[in-house]
């Protein structure tokens, strides 16, 4: 996951390869609650690991359910008719799929609870559900603003007598989650008599109700419905665990990869695993919408395969009531269409994680699109020519879907990068979304940005480069480590570190199995992190690095570090030889005395003994050798910026490089806060 302030996506090339998607959020949280309400133990497989499932699992634990987690599996011991632990105060983040159903279930189980979440959760309406529960006789109070969480369920003495005889009315045109909440809670009280729910107004998001009904059936509750307006929960209902249940991959998450295939898929295209054409999720019908826009899609029970069909994509005018979440992806696909696309009947966007109609309109405009928005529609006209696209900083409103769908703008024909603010917001449903995207994107190496930091020993290259890579979410190449490893391997093979053994050392390099993992370095399965960090190892590295054939043998390995979304490379010849086209090159120096002092402190801190004057002499000898060798000598690239760190801290050096990097970016700053 990219837990950084912003993620810069370079211009993306073609899309090909396969991707396995995480479990659906809607299914995960429904299954968890149903398992908790059931008699028996349920093994839930392929559960989504995300913020929203986390709050649900924590809440269930607090309520007294047995919860054991193991990777993407959870074992839930249901309450099976016992009362939940009370009183309890539940923090439900921004998870509507936890807040609504838990409110209904706890109101019908009895006890005293407070349910709240983050600030945005307290702006998301719940009044229609509370009204329906109050109509039954439940005692629920608002702790803040009327109609919104946080709530208190005040039934310490048990559930009052409920009026179950007449139909329970709930509005269906605000959020289908209210109906889902009632459908999952009312079987708890449909024991002696059947319970009927009547939807007031047109039911939106029927596909989510379809998921609810399918899952209820898996847990032993067969709900009948009449035209999606009247739902009948039979008398004698009783939740029974199905034993093991598998969570389908999220069909809404599939939409980004379907779109990537439609926009940039080359043969054999993008393969999506974990969800297929027979999915119980309504958002699978995104496939039809993508086909209307020109995508070529085939699929089976648990997979989809997508390639580009018509190009440019075809503009559409579509009622999106049946695919509210995935339709956001259509709004970004519209940027690649041959005309104006209109997405209708999407009023529910206004009350999701953020006001999604406003958010999409604002951000699409930043990219150069012309956008008209209404209470329940959005109309997108793409930039008329590549030159009309803009490099935008996309504000993501703590909304995972905004972050994910706007990543598709990086396929733009203008070759512009896209900045995604707060990329970790994807954790709500798809923590490794960007990693998954990068795994199916082929991008010409020269379009992947590289920041080069070259300079003499102990100038701070490694420290600054690692911090930059961390801040930008880029890969990190410590090229000096490769020379250190080579020297170590050569010594172990009994080779002299000189020209006479040049060919043999170069041959050795081709068979090294090197692995960098966190801060550790592995050679042929052995952890050699400490062994290569001694002063002697540095000197030996300097010796092998003077051998031209060894340098050549290491070139391909160094190039292989250049991967999406970018690379920070530290060494001696990063800017001059290895990445000569890099968009930013820094030559980092410091006085020899300052550097010797730093190395001294570094060694003392490690518990090694050190002598200042010997260190200074060694360092000067190494500088001289690195600068005077015939191949790739240490020197600044012509277009490198010089940074003397003698009198600044490592943090200041990092900030300076970041400032230079920002100055070279084409982004228009975000206007949202
Ligand atoms: N600007 C700086 N000011 C003070 N100390 C620094 C600075 N840059 C790096 N250091 C410290 O100097 C030591 C050597 O830095 P390092 O990054 O290993 O250098 P290099 O990779 O250039 O050999 C480290 O202990 C680091 O924390
Ligand atoms: N790109 C590079 C990186 C390192 N080297 C050589 C020259 C250096 O003295 C050694 C060790 O490099 P390293 O960056 O690990 O050393 P310091 O951390 O700067 O002391 O390797 C090189 O020739 N080219």
- Contact call for residues 532 and 521 (beta carbons, < 8 A): yes
Atom of ligand 1 nearest to the CA of 457: 23
Residue 77, token pair as written in the block = 């011991």
Model confidence pLDDT, tens digit, residues 486-542: 999 999 999 999 999 999 999 999 899 999 988 899 999 999 999 999 889 999 999
CA nearest neighbour of 96 among 431, 430, 428: 428
The ligand minimizing its distance to the Cα of 555 is: 2
Atom of ligand 2 nearest to the CA of 558: 1
For residue 464, what pLDDT is reported?
A: 97
- Ligand 1 atom 15, closest CA: 460
For residue 75, what pLDDT is reported?
A: 97
Active site residue 478: no
- Ligand 2 atom 23, closest CA: 545
Indicate if the pLDDT at residue 673 is higher than 50.
Answer: no
CA nearest neighbour of 364 among 385, 346, 342, 380: 380
Q: Are strands 151-155 and 140-142 parallel, antiparallel or unpaired?
A: antiparallel
455 labelled ligand-binding = yes
Instruction: Give the chain's mean pLDDT.
Output: 94
For residue 669, what pLDDT is reported?
A: 63
124 labelled ligand-binding = yes
Indicate if the pLDDT at residue 672 is higher than 70.
Answer: no
Ligand 1: lining residues by beta carbon, under 6 Å = 455, 457-463, 598, 602, 645, 648-650, 653
Indicate if the pLDDT at residue 86 is higher than 80.
Answer: yes
CA nearest neighbour of 400 among 47, 46, 25: 25
Helix axis angle for 251-264 and 286-293, nearest 10°, is 10
How many Å lie between the centroid of ligand 1 and the Cα of residue 458?
5
For residue 207, what pLDDT is reported?
A: 82
Element of type H or E holding 547: none
Model confidence pLDDT, tens digit, residues 154-175: 999 999 999 999 899 998 887 7
What span, in angstroms and rounded, lies between the C-alpha atoms of 389 and 378?
19
314 labelled ligand-binding = no
Residue 655 contacts by C-beta under 8 Å, 6 or more apart in sequence? none
Q: Are strands 378-381 and 393-394 parallel, antiparallel or unpaired?
A: unpaired
- Ligand 1 atom 9, closest CA: 460
State the SS3 of 218-278.
Answer: HCCCCCEEECCCEEEECCCCCCECCCEEECCECHHHHHHHHHHHHHHEEEEEEEEECCCCC
Element of type H or E holding 54: helix 51-62
Residue 391, token pair as written in the block = 């490099």
What span, in angstroms and rounded, lies between the C-alpha atoms of 229 and 234?
16
How many Å lie between the centroid of ligand 2 and the Cα of residue 505?
17
- Contact call for residues 377 and 342 (beta carbons, < 8 A): yes
Residue 361: count of CB within 10 angstroms of its CB:
18
Residue 465 contacts by C-beta under 8 Å, 6 or more apart in sequence? 451, 453, 476, 478, 568, 569, 570
Indicate if the pLDDT at residue 608 is higher than 90.
Answer: no
Indicate if the pLDDT at residue 89 is higher than 80.
Answer: yes
- Ligand 1 atom 23, closest CA: 458
- Ligand 2 atom 24, closest CA: 572
The ligand minimizing its distance to the Cα of 656 is: 1
Mutate to test the pocket of ligand 1, among 650, 651, 653, 654 (most ligand atoms within 8 A of CB): 650
The ligand minimizing its distance to the Cα of 648 is: 1
Determine the average pLDDT of the residues in 343-358. Answer: 91
Indicate if the pLDDT at residue 656 is higher than 60.
Answer: yes
> pLDDT-derived band of residue 671, with 50, 70 and 90 as boundaries?
low
Indicate if the pLDDT at residue 670 is higher than 80.
Answer: no
- Give me the domains of the chain, ranges plus CATH numbers: 6-22+249-443 (3.65.10.10), 25-246 (3.65.10.10), 447-663 (3.40.50.300)
- 250 or 361, which is more confident: 361
Determine the average pLDDT of the residues in 420-430. Answer: 94
Determine the average pLDDT of the residues in 467-482. Answer: 97
- Of the residues 325, 478, 570, 573, only one is catalytic, namely 325
30 labelled ligand-binding = yes
Model confidence pLDDT, tens digit, residues 36-72: 999 999 999 989 888 899 999 999 999 999 999 998 8
Compute and round to an integer the Cα radius of gyration of the chain. Answer: 30
Atom of ligand 1 nearest to the CA of 464: 17
26 labelled ligand-binding = yes
Indicate if the pLDDT at residue 31 is higher than 80.
Answer: yes
Helix, strand, coil in percent for the chain, rounding step 5 = 40, 20, 35
């Amino acid at each position: 996951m990219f837990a950084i302030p912003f993620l810069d996506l370079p211009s993306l090339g073609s899309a090909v390869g396969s991707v396995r998607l995480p479990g659906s959020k809607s299914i995960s949280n429904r299954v968890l609650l149903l398992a908790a309400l059931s008699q028996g133990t349920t093994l839930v497989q392929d559960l989504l690991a995300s913020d929203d499932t986390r709050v649900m699992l924590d809440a269930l634990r607090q309520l007294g359910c047995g919860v054991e987690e193991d990777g993407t599996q959870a074992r839930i011991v249901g309450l099976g008719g016992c009362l939940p632990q009370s009183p309890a105060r539940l923090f439900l983040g921004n998870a509507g799929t936890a807040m609504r159903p838990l409110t209904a279930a706890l109101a019908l189980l009895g006890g005293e609870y407070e349910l709240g979440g983050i600030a945005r959760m307290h702006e998301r309406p719940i009044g229609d559900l509370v009204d329906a529960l109050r109509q039954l006789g439940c005692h629920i109070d608002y702790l803040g603003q009327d109609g919104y969480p946080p709530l208190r369920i005040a039934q310490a003495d048990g559930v009052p007598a409920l009026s179950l005889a007449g139909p329970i009315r709930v509005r269906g045109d605000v959020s289908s989650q209210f109906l889902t909440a009632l459908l999952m809670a009312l079987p708890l009280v449909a024991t002696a008599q059947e319970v009927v729910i009547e939807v007031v107004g047109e039911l939106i998001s029927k596909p989510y109700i379809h998921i609810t009904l399918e899952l209820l059936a898996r847990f032993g509750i067969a709900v009948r419905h009449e035209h999606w307006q009247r739902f009948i929960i039979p008398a004698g209902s009783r939740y029974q665990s199905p034993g093991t249940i598998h969570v389908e991959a999220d069909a809404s998450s599939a939409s980004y990869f379907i779109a990537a295939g439609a926009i940039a898929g080359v043969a054999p295209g993008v393969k999506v695993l974990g969800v297929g054409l027979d999915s119980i999720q309504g958002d699978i019908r995104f496939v039809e919408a993508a086909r209307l826009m020109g995508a070529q899609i085939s699929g089976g029970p648990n997979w989809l395969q997508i390639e580009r069909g018509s190009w440019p994509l075809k503009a559409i005018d579509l009622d999106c009531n049946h695919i509210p979440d995935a339709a956001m992806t259509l709004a970004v696909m519209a940027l690649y269409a041959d005309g104006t696309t209109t997405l209708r009947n999407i009023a529910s966007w206004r009350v999701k994680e953020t006001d999604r109609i406003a958010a999409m309109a604002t951000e699409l405009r930043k990219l150069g699109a012309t956008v008209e928005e209404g209470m329940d529609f959005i109309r997108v006209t793409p930039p008329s020519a590549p030159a009309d696209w803009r490099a935008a900083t996309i504000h993501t409103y703590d909304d995972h879907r905004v972050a994910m769908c706007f990543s598709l703008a990086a396929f733009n024909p203008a070759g512009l990068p896209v900045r995604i603010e707060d990329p970790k917001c994807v954790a709500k449903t798809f923590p490794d979304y960007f990693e998954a995207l990068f795994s199916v994107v082929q991008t010409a190496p020269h379009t992947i940005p590289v920041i080069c930091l070259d300079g003499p020993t102990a100038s701070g290259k490694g420290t600054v480069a690692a911090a930059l890579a961390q801040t930008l979410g880029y890969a990190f190449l410590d090229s000096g480590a490769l020379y250190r490893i080579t020297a170590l391997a050569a010594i172990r093979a009994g080779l002299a570190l000189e020209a006479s053994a040049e060919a043999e050392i170069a041959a050795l390099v081709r068979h090294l199995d090197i692995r960098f993992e966190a801060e550790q370095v592995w050679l042929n399965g052995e952890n050699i992190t400490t062994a290569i960090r001694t002063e002697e190892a540095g000197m030996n590295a300097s010796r092998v690095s003077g051998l031209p054939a060894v340098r050549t043998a290491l070139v391909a390995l160094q190039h292989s570090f250049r991967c999406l979304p970018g690379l920070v490379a530290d060494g001696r010849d990063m800017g001059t030889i290895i990445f000569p086209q890099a968009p930013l090159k820094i030559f980092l120096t410091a006085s020899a005395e300052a550097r010797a002092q730093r190395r001294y402190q570094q060694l003392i801190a490690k518990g090694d003994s050190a002598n200042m004057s010997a260190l200074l002499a060694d360092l000067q000898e190494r500088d001289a050798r690195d600068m005077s060798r015939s191949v790739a000598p240490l020197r600044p690239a012509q277009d490198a910026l010089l940074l003397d760190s003698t009198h600044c801290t490592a943090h200041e050096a990092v900030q300076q490089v970041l400032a230079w990097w920002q100055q070279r970016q084409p982004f228009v700053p975000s206007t949202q806060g």
